[in-house]
Chain A
């Protein structure tokens, strides 16, 4: 018996499609969009026939469906993860900046505590390997600092860390060829 697909039904379907989409970020965006549209179209068709609740139930959980899609598109076994690489690249620079900033603050406070209130310039070589030297200038009781940029090694480590974290070598084309049955 045909069912009327209400606004609530559409919201329910969109919620599942969105949830599925969030788990398919490791797919190329064109494939991800195509899967999303296909699942939405099929769900709307099913909802019109058997009702949204039954249609959603028969599709199963978005997590299981996403796992099946990822295995279908990328093959079985361990896979790369762009999400993991992106999380690494977003969080590690924030943490690194925080700790380097704290180290610079500590150095400046140490200078202040030792009575460096007169006009003077101090240079700290920075955290070894990770940053360039930091220059502190004290002028009329105010302190300013410059320098402390990341060294090229930091960028290399960030790149290597992202590759390792996301297992990105598995995304190389020759590793994604279809396996024969």
Chain B
């Protein structure tokens, strides 16, 4: 597992990760953050996840419902809308293309580094 990620890179894919996690099953905010950390993104703080969920909700990609909890206040569960499923499909395809393109560049052989003093 990776314990540290480039924040800029993570910011770009956080929405995609959240959409995928919520496509697997609906969850409430803290649970989503826990699942994300369980997937290896241990440096993703709850303070980053909750606004990202709010953004997706505003964009119409997530729907919410309140579910009573025996251990405290009602939990707000998030699930994907049709627009969310479409965004997930498009985002996953774009990510695959991105990875493929980056891999193609990174897999090129590098010239031998010149030795010091020569």
Contact = CB atoms under 8 A, between A and B. Distances in A.
Contact of B69 (A41, A64, A65, A181): A41
Contacts of B71: 45, 48
Contacts of B72: 41, 44-45, 48
Interface stretch (B2-10, B45-53, B100-108, B109-117): B45-53
B26 to A, nearest CB: 15
B58 A73 contact: yes
Interface in B49-98: 50-52, 54-55, 58-60, 69, 71-76, 87
Contacts, number: 76
Q: What band does the interface of chain A fall in when counting residues whose beta carbon is under 8 Å from B?
A: 20 to 34
A37 B73 contact: yes
A46 interface: yes
B7 to A, nearest CB: 13
Given A41-B74, A48-B72, A59-B46, A178 B51 contact: no
Nearest to A38: B76
A35 interface: yes
A102 interface: no
Q: What band does the interface of chain B fall in when counting residues whose beta carbon is under 8 Å from A?
A: 20 to 34
A69 B73 CA distance: 21
Given A42-B28, A45-B71, A71 B76 contact: no
A72 B54 contact: yes
Interface string B21-33: 0000000111001
B58 A178 contact: yes
A40 B73 contact: yes
B113 to A, nearest CB: 39
A58 interface: yes
Contacts of A48: 71-72
B58 A39 contact: no
B8 to A, nearest CB: 15
Contacts of A173: none
Interface of A: 34-35, 37-42, 44-46, 48, 55, 58-61, 64-65, 68-69, 71-73, 178, 181
The 4 closest A-B pairs by CB, nearest first: A60-B47, A68-B51, A72-B55, A41-B73
27 contacts: A34-B76, A38-B50, A39-B50, A41-B29, A41-B73, A42-B29, A42-B33, A42-B46, A44-B72, A45-B28, A46-B30, A48-B72, A55-B46, A58-B45, A59-B45, A60-B45, A60-B46, A60-B47, A60-B48, A65-B51, A68-B48, A68-B51, A69-B50, A71-B55, A72-B54, A178-B59, A181-B87
